[in-house]
Structure 1
Amino acid sequence: MGRLLWVAWTALWGCSCAWLRGALAKTVHGGFSSAAAKAGAGQVVAQFQFHGDCALLYVRISNVATAVEKEARLHLFQAQEWLRLQESPQDYSCTEKLSEAQLTLNMNFTEQNLTVSQVPYPVTWYVFYVDKFTCAENYENADSEDVQFEMVLLNPDAEGNPLDHFSAGESGLHEFFFLLVLAYFVAACIYAQSLWQTMKKGGPMHTVLKVLSTVLLLQAASAFANYVHFSRYSKNGVGSPFMGSLAEFCDIVSQMQMLYLLLSLCMGWTVGRMKKSQSKPLQWDSTPTSTAIAVIVVVTQSILLIWEQFEDTNHHSYHSHQNLAGGLLIGSRICLALSLGCGLYQIIRIERSTLKREFYITFTKGCILWFLCHPGFVTVSLMFRDYQREKIITIGVILCQLFSIVLLYQLFVSHSLYWEVSSLSSVTLPLTVASGHKSRHHF
Structure 2
Amino acid sequence: MFWLLLALRILAGVSECQGKTVRGIFSSERAKEEKGQHLTSFWFYGEPTLIQYKLNATVTSDGRLYLYREDDWRDAADKLTCFDKISAARLSFELVSAEANFTFSSVSPDLWHVVYAELSTCQTGSFVGQPNTIQYQLRLFNPDREGNPFDHFSTGEGGLLLFYQFVVLVYFILTCIYGPQLWQTISKEGPMYLVLKLLTLATSLQFSASLFNMLHYQRYSKDGEGSPFFLNLSEMLEVLSALVMLYMLLNVAMGWTLAGSKATKLSNLKNNPIVTIVVLGLGAVQAVLALWEQFQSSEHQTYHAHRSAVGLSLVVLRLVLALVFGGAIYQTMSKERSSLRRDFYLSFFKSCLLWFLSYPVIVVIAYLFPGHLRNKIVTSGVVICESLAVVLLYKLFLSRSLYWEVSALSALSLPLRMDRSFNKKNYS
TM-score by length of 2: 0.87
Gaps of 5+ in 1: 428-443
1:248 maps to 235
Deviation at 1:338, TM superposition (A): 2.4
| Contact 2:121–2:127, Cα closer than 8 Å, also in 1 | no
Amino acid across the alignment from 1:11: A
1:118 maps to 106
Paired residue secondary structure (2:105): coil
2:346 maps to 361
Paired residue secondary structure (1:390): helix
From 45, 56, 61, the equivalent of 1:62 is 56
The CA distance in 1 between the partners of 2:329 and 2:19, in whole Å, is 45
User: Structure 1's 190 and 324: CA in aligned 2 closer, same or farther, altered over 3 A?
Assistant: same
From 324, 334, 346, the equivalent of 1:339 is 324
Amino acid across the alignment from 2:84: E
Deviation at 1:178, TM superposition (A): 0.8
The CA distance in 1 between the partners of 2:307 and 2:19, in whole Å, is 21
Does residue 40 (structure 1) correspond to residue 34 (structure 2)? The answer is yes
| Contact 1:42–1:134, Cα closer than 8 Å, also in 2 | no
| Contact 2:11–2:229, Cα closer than 8 Å, also in 1 | no
1:18 maps to 14
Count of residue pairs brought into register by the alignment: 407
Deviation at 1:73, TM superposition (A): 0.8
The CA distance in 2 between the partners of 1:360 and 1:294, in whole Å, is 20
Deviation at 1:358, TM superposition (A): 2.3
1:80 maps to 71
2:376 maps to 391
1:205-220 mapped onto 2 (5 Å cutoff): 205-220=192-207
Structure with more contact order per residue of length (Cα contacts < 8 Å, sep ≥ 6) = 1
From 15, 27, 37, the equivalent of 2:21 is 27
Amino acid across the alignment from 1:71: D
Paired residue secondary structure (1:98): helix
User: Structure 1's 426 and 182: CA in aligned 2 closer, same or farther, altered over 3 A?
Assistant: closer
Does residue 297 (structure 1) correspond to residue 292 (structure 2)? The answer is no
Superimposed CA distance per residue, residues 361-417 of structure 1 (whole angstroms, 9 cap, x where no aligned partner): 121122221111111111111111110000000000001111111111121223699
Deviation at 1:175, TM superposition (A): 0.5
Deviation at 1:84, TM superposition (A): 1.9
| Contact 1:63–1:147, Cα closer than 8 Å, also in 2 | yes
Deviation at 1:212, TM superposition (A): 1.0
Aligned-residue sequence identity (percent) comes to 38
2:413 maps to none
| Contact 2:28–2:131, Cα closer than 8 Å, also in 1 | yes
1:86-235 mapped onto 2 (5 Å cutoff): 86=77, 88-90=78-80, 93-119=81-107, 121-139=108-126, 144-235=131-222
The CA distance in 1 between the partners of 2:387 and 2:380, in whole Å, is 11
Superimposed CA distance per residue, residues 151-196 of structure 1 (whole angstroms, 9 cap, x where no aligned partner): 1100011111110000000000010011111111111110110000
2:421 maps to none
RMSD of Structure 2 on Structure 1 (CA): 2.8
The CA distance in 1 between the partners of 2:385 and 2:55, in whole Å, is 46
Deviation at 1:11, TM superposition (A): 3.0
Gaps of 5+ in 2: 411-428
User: Structure 1's 178 and 142: CA in aligned 2 closer, same or farther, altered over 3 A?
Assistant: farther
The CA distance in 2 between the partners of 1:211 and 1:424, in whole Å, is 17
1:269 maps to 255
Amino acid across the alignment from 2:103: T
Deviation at 1:280, TM superposition (A): 7.1
Amino acid across the alignment from 2:62: E
